[in-house]
Amino acid sequence: MGKREPGDAQPYFSTHVFVCGNRRPEGHDRGCCASKGSEKLRDYMKARVKEEKIPGIRINQSGCLDRCELGPCAVIYPEGVWYRLDSREAVDRVIEIHIVGGGRVEDLLLPAGK
Amino acid sequence: MGKREPGDAQPYFSTHVFVCGNRRPEGHDRGCCASKGSEKLRDYMKARVKEEKIPGIRINQSGCLDRCELGPCAVIYPEGVWYRLDSREAVDRVIEIHIVGGGRVEDLLLPAGK
């Protein structure tokens, strides 16, 4: 597990969210996050944090996060907490409770180690 | 700054690397990481960590990490350390010294807060 060292610079983003944007061909047995709407949900999340003027945050799209069956997936660093973001409401709750409030949205957390 | 909480699951990946794959039109004044070869360097990094059988690691492409002028950029989480990965040699050194060895490759680190 990577660890921060005393000499490390402060992380450039306080909150760095990666939303899986992987798209597989229709019918692939693992499915994919893009087919479940992840691209639009990522755009929505980006717009919402801008509206809220949340400082030090970046919402990025990423390649396949390899948890396809559980998606649409997102991971928030540096804390390394994973969520299923399957609706605008889910995005709103993660912003409000986790990102702004420092809590966890228990019913949207991905299960450990699967 | 996001913090881990006592009840959080272990991060799904011990080492999660995001290599910027953003491509802008030729001549854009900020440039972009893809025009500096980031896509092939990401593929090389992915192949190298597979060859080395490094456990618990994922090498992802990401959208624009917004440090275009310093690229090709990559960030390693959970530690949140940023590097300029501008050659295969740079990739090899980051794998050997940072990812495997737990150190830092000082001459490739991105400057803090720029």
pLDDT in tens, B89-103: 999 999 999 999 999
Considering only the beta carbons, identify the residue of B2, B15, B63 that sits closest to A60.
B63
Which residues of chain B make contact with A5, given a CB cutoff of 8 A? Answer: 79, 104
Which residues of chain B make contact with A111, given a CB cutoff of 8 A? Answer: 9
Q: Are A34 and A40 in contact (CB under 8 A)?
A: no
For residue A94, the 8-state DSSP code is I
Mean pLDDT within A17-40: 90
Alpha carbon distances (Å) from B32 to A45, A55, B59, B81: 23, 24, 19, 20
Min Cα separation A76/chain B (Å): 8
| Other CB atoms within 10 Å distance of the CB of residue B43 | 13
Min Cα separation A7/chain B (Å): 10
| Chain A nearest-CA residue for B111 | A9
Q: Could you tell me if B66 lies within 8 Å of chain A, comparing CB atoms?
A: yes
Asked whether residue A37 carries a pLDDT value surpassing 70, the answer given is: yes
Q: State the residue for tokens 């180690």.
A: A113
Q: How confident is the model at residue B79 (pLDDT cuts 50, 70, 90)?
A: very high
The closest alpha carbon to A54, from A92, A4, A104, belongs to A92
Mean pLDDT within B45-63: 97
The closest alpha carbon to B2, from A52, A105, A78, A103, belongs to A78
* Angle (CA) A15 B65 A92, round 5°: 40
Instruction: Give me the helices (H) in chain A, please.
Output: 38-51, 88-93
CA A2 and chain centroid, separation: 20
Considering only the beta carbons, identify the residue of A9, A66, A78 that sits closest to B77.
A78
Which residues of chain A make contact with B74, given a CB cutoff of 8 A? Answer: none
Q: Could you tell me if B60 lies within 8 Å of chain A, comparing CB atoms?
A: yes
pLDDT in tens, A39-85: 999 999 999 999 999 999 999 999 999 998 998 999 999 999 999 99
Structure tokens at B111: 């400057």
Residue B95 neighbours by CB under 8 Å, 6+ apart: B45, B48, B49, B52, B54
Q: Hey, which residues does A109 pair with through a beta bridge?
A: A83
| Other CB atoms within 10 Å distance of the CB of residue A39 | 17
Q: Could you tell me if B16 lies within 8 Å of chain A, comparing CB atoms?
A: yes
Residues A78, B12: C-beta atoms closer than 8 Å: no
Q: Could you tell me if A80 lies within 8 Å of chain B, comparing CB atoms?
A: yes
Half-sphere exposure for B69 (CA within 13 Å, toward CB): 4
Which residues of chain A make contact with B112, given a CB cutoff of 8 A? Answer: 9-10, 12
pTM: 0.95
Half-sphere exposure for A36 (CA within 13 Å, toward CB): 20
d(CA A21, CA A27): 17
Structure tokens at A110: 């991905």
